[in-house]
Amino acid sequence: MAGRARPGKIEEDARPFAARSWRRRASSHHRGEGIIKVRKGRYLFTSESVAEGHPDKVCDRISDAVVDAYLTADPHARVAVETLATTNRIVLAGEVRAPKGVTTDAIEEVARQAVKEIGYEQNGFHWRTLELENYIHEQSADIARGVDAAGNKDEGAGDQGIMFGYACDETEPLMPAPIYFAHSILRSLADARHSGTEPGLGPDAKSQVTLEYMDGKPTRAASVVVSTQHSDDLDQDAVREIVRPHVENVLPTGWMCPEAELYINPTGRFVIGGPDGDAGLTGRKIIVDTYGGAAPHGGGAFSGKDPTKVDRSAAYATRYMAKNVVAASLATRCTIQLSYAIGVAKPLSLYVDTHETGEVDEARLGDVLCEMIDLSPRGIREHLSLNRPIYARTAAYGHFGRPPEPDGGFSWERLDLVDALRSAFAA
C-alpha cells in the first residue's frame, strides 16, 4: 500500500499534487499491509442488493431524476436533494442553485414520472394519486462562496470527506462477484416484470448472495436469498418457481447453491411492499451502491448530488482509476482512496493499495495516476464529462460494474487509461 498526506497548513499550490505530497519511504512499511489482504483457504462472503422498487431506491431514483432535471436546464447547476417516501406521500428537501425555469410543477412531474417508471400503481403508493411536498430552496451563499472559482482560486470541493474506489478480477466488469450476482438476479427479475413476462411480480425486491471462496477466488454459491413483492394470488411455492430460473441463469454453470440453501420469500408472503410497507430515504443503501462490503466506503451517499460534490464525483474517479489499474494487469485487486477539504481544489491525500497482488510499486503507481488525471473537483468533472443528466439510471443495481454508454453515462467505467498505464510501467 502507499499512503500520501501533507502535514501542516492546508493551502492552494500551483504545483501538481504528486510534487506537493509527502510520502513515507517504501522501507518504512511492509508491502501488502493494506485494508484488505487476499485471504487464503476456504471462506464465505456475502453481499446484498435491492431492486429499484425498494423504498430507499425509490428515493434515490427521485433525487437523481431531480438532479438530471436541473443539469438539463443548466449543466453547472448545484443540486443537493433528499427524498422521503411513505404511504402515498413523497417529501422533497434540499438546496439548489439553478435557473428559475425549473419550476415546482416541473419537479413534481419529475418525481411522479420516476415512480411511474419504477412501476408503482398500488393502493398505498400510486404515482398519480400520491401527495407530494416540495421544500427545495436556494443553496447557502456560504457554501457557494467556498466552492465557486474566483480570481486565481480554482473550484473547491463541495465538502470535506474521504472516497474509495475498488476493482478486482473476479468478474468481467472487474467487480466483486457477490454484489455483481446479487444485482444481476434483481435486474433479471425487473426485466421480466417490465416486459410483462412475469406480471405477478411487484417492484420491491431484495437479494443476497453468499459465495464460497478458495484462496481468494470465488468457486460457487453457498446460499442465495431473494425476497420479492408479488400479487395476492401467488403463494410462496409459485413465487419460488418464478424466481429460481433467474438465479440459475445468472450464476455461472455449476455454481448454483443447494436447493435447501435457496431462500425465496422466507416469510412466506410479500404483497404489501415499497414505501407503503416501509418508509424510504435517499442515501441509505451506500454499500449496495458500491462494492457490497468487499471494499471500504467513505460514508457519503451519491444520489441527489450534482458532480461538484466529491462524495459522488471522487468516488467515481477512484473506481475509474482502480478499474484501469486492474484492467492493465498491474494488479488483480486495487483500492484507491482520495480525501478533500471543503473549498479546496486539490485532494489532500491519495492512497493506493494492491493487496499483495501488485506487479508495480504502489507509490510510483500513485504518482503516475496523478500525472494522468487532474483530481480536483473540476478536473474530475471534465475528465469524466459528469455535468450531464446521466444520474437517474445509476440509482438502482449499482453505480459500478455497468457498461459505459454513448451519451456519457457510466463514463467512470471506461478503460481508456489502460494503454497509458502499461506504457508507464513498461520495462
- Kindly report, residue by residue over 255-286, the tens digit of the pLDDT: 999 999 999 999 999 999 999 999 999 999 99
Q: Is 237 a catalytic residue?
A: no
Q: Is 217 a catalytic residue?
A: no
Set 82, 170, 306, 413: catalytic member: 82
Q: At what angle do helices 236-250 and 177-195 cross, to 10 degrees?
A: 120
Contacts of 427 (CB under 8 A, 6+ apart): none
Confidence check: pLDDT of 409 > 60: yes
DSSP-based three-state secondary structure for 421: helix
Nearest to 275 by CA among 26, 52, 1: 52
What is the pLDDT at residue 29?
Answer: 32
Query: What is the arithmetic mean of pLDDT over 18-26?
Result: 32
Set 4, 54, 183, 383: catalytic member: 54
Residue whose entry in the numeric block shows the C-alpha cell 438502482: 396
Classify burial at 89, counting beta carbons within 10 Å of its beta carbon; exposed 0-12, middle 13-18, buried 19 or more: middle
Higher local confidence (pLDDT), 29 or 174: 174
Set 74, 95, 108, 248: catalytic member: 95
Kindly state the cell numbers that stand for 140: 447557502
What is the pLDDT at residue 127?
Answer: 97
Set 279, 364, 378, 402: catalytic member: 279
Q: Is 305 a catalytic residue?
A: yes
Mean pLDDT value across the chain: 90
Query: Are 189 and 37 a contacting pair, CB within 8 Å?
Result: no
Q: Is 54 a catalytic residue?
A: yes
CA distance 332 to 318: 16
Set 4, 57, 193, 323: catalytic member: 57
Task: State phi, psi for 419 to the nearest 5 degrees.
Answer: -60, -45
Kindly state the cell numbers that stand for 292: 457490497
- Going by pLDDT thresholds of 50, 70 and 90, the confidence category of residue 101 is confident
CA distance 340 to 138: 24
CA distance 346 to 83: 31
Q: Is 100 a catalytic residue?
A: no
Q: Is 82 a catalytic residue?
A: yes
What's the gap between Cα 386 and its chain centre?
A: 14
Pairing, β 262-264 against β 217-230: parallel
Q: Is 309 a catalytic residue?
A: yes
Set 52, 204, 306, 311: catalytic member: 311
What is the pLDDT at residue 13?
Answer: 41
Query: Which pLDDT tens digit goes with each residue over 304-318?
Result: 999 999 999 999 999
Kindly state the cell numbers that stand for 193: 416484470
- Going by pLDDT thresholds of 50, 70 and 90, the confidence category of residue 15 is very low
Set 206, 312, 333, 346: catalytic member: 206
Q: Is 259 a catalytic residue?
A: no
Q: Is 116 a catalytic residue?
A: no
Q: Where are the alpha helices (DSSP H) in 119-153?
A: 141-147
